[in-house]
Every structure is written in C-alpha cells, then in structure tokens.
Amino acid sequence: GAVVSQHPSRVICKSGTSVKIECRSLDFQATTMFWYRQFPKQSLMLMATSNEGSKATYEQGVEKDKFLINHASLTLSTLTVTSAHPEDSSFYICSARESGTKNTDTQYFGPGTRLTVL
C-alpha cells in the first residue's frame, strides 16, 4: 500500500525557534497533502490543505504566518512552525491523497511528528 513518511518523528526545541517537519509520499505522487494537529486524547484537527505548486489553504483560526507550508514537489510537503512556543507543542500528522488513480478519495497518513517546545 501507499506509504507516507514524516521526519523527524520527534523534535524538542527551545521557545522562539523554528521547526520544519517534512511529509513525503514514498511510492506515489500526491497533488494534495493535508496537515493535522492532534492534542493529547483529542481528535485530529485539520490545519491546512497543501497543493503542489500553489499556496496552501488554511482552516479558520490557523495562522498562516506561523505555520508555513510548502509543497514544492509531488512527493514532499513541509510544515514550518515559526517562533514556536510551548502552546505549539502537539502531535503533527500529515496525509497525502494519491494523484491520477481511480480511487482518489483515500488519504494515507504519516506516522506523525511529536513537537515539544520548552
């Protein structure tokens, strides 16, 4: 099946620094990728939809200048948390939708990145 990877799996950073998280589709091309955020014991909340070669679409309440998304190729999207603060500590998960196949409804999820801001 389709595989999505994320890197890093865990990151600890100091308050005020920026952190970049990568999401890769390993064996398929993904025109669209999605970024989610999940707090402990809560559901996944969609942050933004990332489209290859164009600007991301952010959900209401998500600061686009704080959560920078770049989808420069059909297999890679990056999320950069700028000037991170402790309240940004969370589990960040990406998903990718396979392009050019019959079933484009299924999204494949990455393993997630645990961000801890000290």
Residues near other proteins (CB under 8 A): 4, 6, 32, 34, 41-46, 49, 51, 57, 91, 93, 95, 97, 104-112, 114
Comparing CB distances to other proteins, the nearer of 82 and 107 is 107
Nearest residue to 2 (alpha-carbon basis) of 117, 94, 83, 90: 94
Which residues touch 42 (CB under 8 Å, ≥6 apart)? none
Closest distance to other proteins from the beta carbon of 16 (Å):
26
Closest distance to other proteins from the beta carbon of 5 (Å):
10
Comparing CB distances to other proteins, the nearer of 17 and 48 is 48
Count CB neighbours of 29 within 10 A.
Answer: 14
* Residue 29 · residue 74 · CB < 8 Å: yes
Comparing CB distances to other proteins, the nearer of 25 and 110 is 110
In a 13 Å sphere around the CA of 103, the CA atoms on its Cβ side amount to 5
Question: What is the rounded CA–CA span in Å between residue 113 and residue 5?
Answer: 10
Comparing CB distances to other proteins, the nearer of 4 and 74 is 4
Which amino acid, residue 78?
T
Closest distance to other proteins from the beta carbon of 110 (Å):
5
Closest distance to other proteins from the beta carbon of 59 (Å):
9
